[in-house]
Amino acid sequence: MCGIIGIASNKSVSMNIINSLKKLEYRGYDSAGIATLTNNTINEKKCSGRVEELEKILFKNPSEGNVGIGHVRWATHGIPNTLNAHPHSSEKVSVVHNGIIENSDELKKTLEEKGFKFKSETDTEVITLLVTESLKKSDPLESVFKTLKKLKGSFALGIIFKNHTDIIIGARRGSPLAVGYSKEENYLGSDSYALKSMTNKISYLDDGEICVLSKSEISFFDANQNKINKKIHIVSDDENTADKGDYKNFMSKEIFEQPNTAKKCVSEYIDSLKKDINIYNFPITPGEIEKIILIGCGTAYHSCLVAKYWFEELTSIEVEIDIASEFRYRNLKFSTKNLYIFVSQSGETADTAAALEICKKNKVKTCSVVNVVESTIARNSDWVLPIHAGPEIGVASTKAFLGQLIVLYILCLKLSSVRNDIDKKSYNINIENLKKLPDAIAKTLKSEGDIQIMAQEFLKARGSMFLGRGSSFPIALEGALKLKELSYLHAEGYPAGEMKHGPLALIEEGLPVIVIAPKDKYFEKTLSNTQEVIARGGKIFFITDIKKRLLSTNIRLRLRVPHLDNFLSPILLTIPLQLLAYHVALLKSCDIDKPRNLAKSVTVE
């Protein structure tokens, strides 16, 4: 989390820094700051709150300078206030930091003993003061190298120097950092997204690397201070899609974009002529894969959970799923016959990237299902399956979840076909149904009116519950997560069959309970579980794909989504839940694209 930008130019940089920070706000938005260099002075300006506030400060009191750094923060050490906002400057240097310095307390104590005074509660300020101390005897690059040796933890850094007004030094360990090239200026950024409006020529730093950039040149060094060359990537120009258009916010745009997301993704992977799936170059011969392990965080983990049901149903491969923050610390038995699949929209999630790193160390084959193909996770995995969803800006993931599900389902179908786990006829039918998915999503989105009515009923609720069985269970989890993060209303997702083992105690008169019940092998069982909730006063919202009107009494609202086949039901059943969370949040006037306490790209552990 947190966003870093740095620009070295032959013209004033502050306005471009502000514009880039606005793009980076999805990474953190509790405070913002900028530092530029003019006449051997560091001009530092910062505030709590959004970049808009910083812009107002600069409007009243502009910051000149052709070299500068900026930051948007997602607080880890110290509350989100002006003092803790980045940059953190001494009389000699100014630092922006993304990540966590794990030994900051120790380092702070040593610096205080030497007489250094701290202004903030952050871990970052130790970096500022360590570099300041080193500068007494060393040049900027040497000072940064010396400082990095003392740091434990993860970081991406941008540093400017009062007495070296033409350079910015960047460093990476654990947290992503990119540089961008242009004719008369060069850039530093915590991801390529912030740089894309200025350049499409980007290099990514690897762990341990340092870069020194001026307006005309960028040099790279490895951890041993050797000069190195970096590959320049030309990144795809999908910038235009990162615009709200006529929508109130990015989230509604991204929800309503889903028919197109599905269309694009399906057309990338399905060869309509050959009636086959275009997935080749498996890192392990498909017939030899013994186990698939799917790993992700949050919403991405939910897509792994849905995929588990698909792989179990359609292939003979054993499947395990894991939350990345758990996976990375477990004592696992790795096998070269297993395929480890990492699911991540951003491709920068720290826990998922660390879990991938562990797999690499154990020399097992890895695959990533990502939206950002230039990301760390994509670059570090053996095999990449992009979801082609385009930039997702709303912090709550919607279209990327849909893309992850589609790609995982397509991968599952392909594996079932090449391993002869599925007959040709069923394979063809499943592919045909996939092609109908975009239209079915568009039809499902038409339920928005009913959902607006449903959302009213959540306004006075003290909590809510989402129930499902089989592949609808992860959809219940996802529905509850979306409602929690957007509307701040407590929501629990449960397998419907678990209710009587405890959660039934939570049911009281009027508690909204969303039951997700497609016509599958669990349907009758889910109906029985629903009756148990009704008997205890729960207010039922029943989301299904069956036509027949069942349980007409005691159901507050029954919503029907189109039916294609049982495998695609979880995808369609997700849409009303996204809309529900969106409309409850809208009625409660919550900040839809930037829910409190959250950030889009979780690059700290």
Q: Which residues are catalytic?
A: 2, 600
67 vs 300 by CB, closer to ligand F6R: 300
Between 58 and 87, how does the x/- string for binding to ligand F6R read (CB under 6 A)?
A: ------------------------------
Buried b (16+ CB within 10 A) or exposed e, 35-59: bbbeeeebbbbbbbebbeebbebbe
**297 near ligand F6R, rule: CB under 6 A:** yes
Q: How far is the CB of 466 from ligand F6R (least distance, A)?
A: 14
d(CA 526, CA 508): 19
- Contact 556/505 with Cβ under 8 angstroms? no
Maximum C-alpha span of the chain = 81
Q: How far is the CB of 404 from ligand F6R (least distance, A)?
A: 8
- Contact 555/542 with Cβ under 8 angstroms? yes
Q: How far is the CB of 52 from ligand F6R (least distance, A)?
A: 23
**299 near ligand F6R, rule: CB under 6 A:** yes
- Contact 278/270 with Cβ under 8 angstroms? yes
d(CA 205, CA 183): 20
Q: How far is the CB of 298 from ligand F6R (least distance, A)?
A: 2
Q: How far is the CB of 602 from ligand F6R (least distance, A)?
A: 5
Local structure of 43: helix, strand or coil: strand
Question: Using CB atoms, what's the residue nearest to ligand F6R?
Answer: 298
Pick the piece of the chain touching ligand F6R (CB under 6 A) from 145-153, 174-182, 269-277, 294-302.
294-302
Instruction: From 71, 117, 60, 72, select the one nearest 94 (Cα to Cα).
Output: 71
69 vs 476 by CB, closer to ligand F6R: 476
Pick the piece of the chain touching ligand F6R (CB under 6 A) from 153-161, 230-238, 273-281, 342-350.
342-350
- Contact 273/299 with Cβ under 8 angstroms? no
Interacting residue with ligand F6R among 98, 122, 345, 472 (CB under 6 A): 345
**126 near ligand F6R, rule: CB under 6 A:** no
- Contact 88/81 with Cβ under 8 angstroms? no
Regarding beta strands 227-228 and 218-221, do their DSSP bridges make them parallel or antiparallel, or are they unpaired?
antiparallel
Instruction: From 567, 270, 285, select the one nearest 418 (Cα to Cα).
Output: 285
Count of residues engaged in binding ligand F6R, rule: CB under 6 A: 15
- Contact 404/345 with Cβ under 8 angstroms? yes
CA distances from 98 to 159, 189, 201, 575, 579 (A): 12, 11, 22, 34, 33
d(CA 465, CA 475): 12
Interacting residue with ligand F6R among 169, 300, 406, 483 (CB under 6 A): 300
Interacting residue with ligand F6R among 20, 344, 417, 578 (CB under 6 A): 344
352 vs 430 by CB, closer to ligand F6R: 352
**485 near ligand F6R, rule: CB under 6 A:** yes
**397 near ligand F6R, rule: CB under 6 A:** yes
Between 455 and 484, how does the x/- string for binding to ligand F6R read (CB under 6 A)?
A: --------------------------x---
Task: For 49-185, list the strands marked E by DSSP.
Answer: 67-73, 88-89, 93-101, 153-161, 164-173, 178-181
Residue matched to tokens 């032959």:
10
Residue matched to tokens 């919503």:
559
**Residue 7: how many CA atoms within 13 Å on its side-chain side?**
28
Pick the piece of the chain touching ligand F6R (CB under 6 A) from 30-38, 195-203, 224-232, 293-301.
293-301
Regarding beta strands 270-271 and 276-277, do their DSSP bridges make them parallel or antiparallel, or are they unpaired?
antiparallel
289 vs 297 by CB, closer to ligand F6R: 297
Q: How far is the CB of 372 from ligand F6R (least distance, A)?
A: 8
164 vs 600 by CB, closer to ligand F6R: 600
- Contact 175/164 with Cβ under 8 angstroms? no
Between 586 and 605, how does the x/- string for binding to ligand F6R read (CB under 6 A)?
A: ---------------xx---
Q: How far is the CB of 235 from ligand F6R (least distance, A)?
A: 18
Interacting residue with ligand F6R among 192, 261, 315, 352 (CB under 6 A): 352
d(CA 345, CA 303): 11
Pick the piece of the chain touching ligand F6R (CB under 6 A) from 214-222, 339-347, 425-433, 532-540.
339-347
CA angle 243–12–199, rounded 5-degree value: 45
CA distances from 334 to 149, 361, 493, 518 (A): 32, 10, 31, 37
Pick the piece of the chain touching ligand F6R (CB under 6 A) from 32-40, 236-244, 296-304, 360-368.
296-304
Interacting residue with ligand F6R among 34, 85, 157, 396 (CB under 6 A): 396
Contacts of 420 (CB under 8 A, 6+ apart): none
Q: How far is the CB of 371 from ligand F6R (least distance, A)?
A: 8
170 vs 298 by CB, closer to ligand F6R: 298
Local structure of 406: helix, strand or coil: helix
Local structure of 93: helix, strand or coil: strand
Residue 293's H or E segment, with its range, is strand 291-296
Q: How far is the CB of 194 from ligand F6R (least distance, A)?
A: 16
481 vs 511 by CB, closer to ligand F6R: 481
277 vs 395 by CB, closer to ligand F6R: 395
Pick the piece of the chain touching ligand F6R (CB under 6 A) from 2-10, 295-303, 535-543, 582-590.
295-303
141 vs 354 by CB, closer to ligand F6R: 354
176 vs 438 by CB, closer to ligand F6R: 176
DSSP class of residue 91?
Answer: S
Phi, psi of 182 (to 5 degrees): -145, 175
**341 near ligand F6R, rule: CB under 6 A:** no
Interacting residue with ligand F6R among 147, 338, 349, 574 (CB under 6 A): 349
9 vs 352 by CB, closer to ligand F6R: 352
Interacting residue with ligand F6R among 346, 380, 444, 578 (CB under 6 A): 346
**390 near ligand F6R, rule: CB under 6 A:** no
Cα Rg for the chain, rounded, in angstroms? 25
Pick the piece of the chain touching ligand F6R (CB under 6 A) from 124-132, 333-341, 343-351, 540-548.
343-351
d(CA 207, CA 452): 47
d(CA 515, CA 520): 14
Binding site residues, ligand F6R, CB under 6 A: 297-300, 344-346, 349, 352, 396-397, 481, 485, 601-602
